[in-house]
């Protein structure tokens, strides 16, 4: 198992967050050819909890779909560059939090299945832990391209 899942909101247990997170993590690691005993903590919560986390860590006083906290900085030095591969004795890559309420709302608004959207957000969050980002156009193109390829390998349509 790559993921350690904590369900603060019981709806996540019913939705199968543990299996969805593990599937997403395995797909990311396979696509990036990462080997080793890496670990990702995934917390399933609601909008109230993620809004507090978003305010505390990003100074944004609102709910969001997914947040990530990498265990170390792995971003590339140049926009559009490949992030650093994880190394070292500590297998913990970091933590992500996903809000049930926002995921359900976004999936319904976009006409996507909830499981496909959650899988996409888990892939997205895990890529953040690995140093990928979307602040600059070149970084966004790289990250979104990877997401599309990884999700395509899982039979999930391009989310963009």
CA distances from 158 to 18, 40, 67, 94, 113 (A): 23, 24, 21, 26, 13
Closest residue by Cα to residue 69 from 18, 8, 147, 131: 131
Alpha-carbon distance of 85 to 8, in angstroms, equals 31
- The token duo for 74 is 């792995």
Q: At what angle do helices 17-31 and 114-129 cross, to 10 degrees?
A: 50
Closest residue by Cα to residue 98 from 28, 9, 34, 14: 9
Alpha-carbon distance of 160 to 157, in angstroms, equals 9
Q: Is position 136 annotated in a ligand binding site? A: no
Q: Is position 124 annotated in a ligand binding site? A: yes
Q: Which residues are annotated as a binding site for Zn(2+)?
A: 124, 128, 134
């Amino acid at each position: 198992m790559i993921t350690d899942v904590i369900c603060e909101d019981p709806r996540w247990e019913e939705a199968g967050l543990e299996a969805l997170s593990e599937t997403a993590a395995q797909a990311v690691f396979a696509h990036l050819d990462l080997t080793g005993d890496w670990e990702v903590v995934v917390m399933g919560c609601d909008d109230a909890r993620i809004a507090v986390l978003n305010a505390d860590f990003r100074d944004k006083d609102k709910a969001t779909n997914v947040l990530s906290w990498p265990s170390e900085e792995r971003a590339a030095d140049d926009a559009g560059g490949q992030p650093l591969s994880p190394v070292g004795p500590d297998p913990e890559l970091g933590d992500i939090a996903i809000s049930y309420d926002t995921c359900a709302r976004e999936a319904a608004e976009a006409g996507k299945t909830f499981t496909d959207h959650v899988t996409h957000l888990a892939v997205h969050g895990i890529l953040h832990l690995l140093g990928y980002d979307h602040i600059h156009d070149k970084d966004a193109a790289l990250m979104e391209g990877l997401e599309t390829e990884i999700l395509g390998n899982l039979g999930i349509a391009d989310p963009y």
